[in-house]
Amino acid sequence: MPSLFCLPFMAPVFCLLLAFFMIASGNAQGPPSPGYSPSSRISSVTFNQGFRNLWGPQHQRVDQGSLTIWLDKTSGSGFKSLEPYQSGYFGAAMKLQPGYTAGVITSLYLSNNEDHPGNHDEIDIEFLGTTPDKPYTLQTNVYIRGTGDGNLIGREMKFHLWFDPTKDYHNYAILWTPSEIIFLVDDVPIRRYTRKSDATFPTRPMWVYGSVWDASSWATENGRYKADYSYQPFVGRYTNFKISGCTANSPASCRPPSASPSGSGSLSRQQVSAMNWVQRNYLVYDYCHDPKRDHTQTPES
């Protein structure tokens, strides 16, 4: 704390509180600008232009191209893209349920589980429900050829956010290219997963999904807090859908959108700086640094 603010007449406790406020307010300003907005190059689509209901149709409402889905004790709901993709930018603006949401997952993700059950690939953005005194956790994850076969190998990185995701819509996106996967929040890269080998990178076509469902067994503090249906319904809101990429039937010459302003290559130096800021301040779990994990199963870490 600079001595400028701790003047002689100020109580030490006041100085400490002032220092805490300044640190907190500094973080609350959000990350440095990434200098580029990949989403600005991609046109929005309505829900019906890009997706269809997959399950729980009675818990889904479409209004002027936006989507509301909800979970209660009878069912949740999920949706699926009209086409599978082999690369691309996939995003939506989402607004989360406030209050008690423990055990509930609200998600946007890529998967080919329906095509390869028990041996599928997946790229996840999942909001892990929480109790009112704690922030939401945004979990990013990558699976390669394996869930449902008893050998679940996740590559989880978990974040808190520099804003309250229940107050307003924010944009969340996955950019999947042949060389890397980038997770973005309001166009700020928060995670980059690079292709180091075919064995550690998803290469088969995937569909785009979203859902709200009960994951009480693990979602909140490893299952410590369960879904409590006295707080139902648990609502997920989606709008400003963006899908742009190479479908499973696109020619080999097709190229997905770029993450960087140069139009080729990976993130710019400014984007990396913003990502590093997020990871310094808001990363709460990284599978690469978990001493309980068997890292021979994730050789890229």
Residues acting as catalytic residues: 122, 126
* Residue 152 CA: distances (Å) to CA of 114, 205, 220, 262: 17, 20, 19, 37
Query: What is the distance between the alpha carbons of residues 163 and 31, in angstroms, rounded to a whole number?
Result: 11
Query: Within 10 A of 79 (CB to CB), how many other CB atoms are there?
Result: 24
Are the beta carbons of 101 and 190 closer than 8 angstroms?
no
Alpha carbons 194 and 183: distance in angstroms, whole number:
12
Q: What is the C-alpha separation between 97 and 230, in angstroms, rounded?
A: 14
Which residues contact residue 175 at a Cβ distance below 8 angstroms, ignoring those fewer than 6 apart? 38, 88, 89, 90, 181, 182, 183, 184, 256, 257, 259
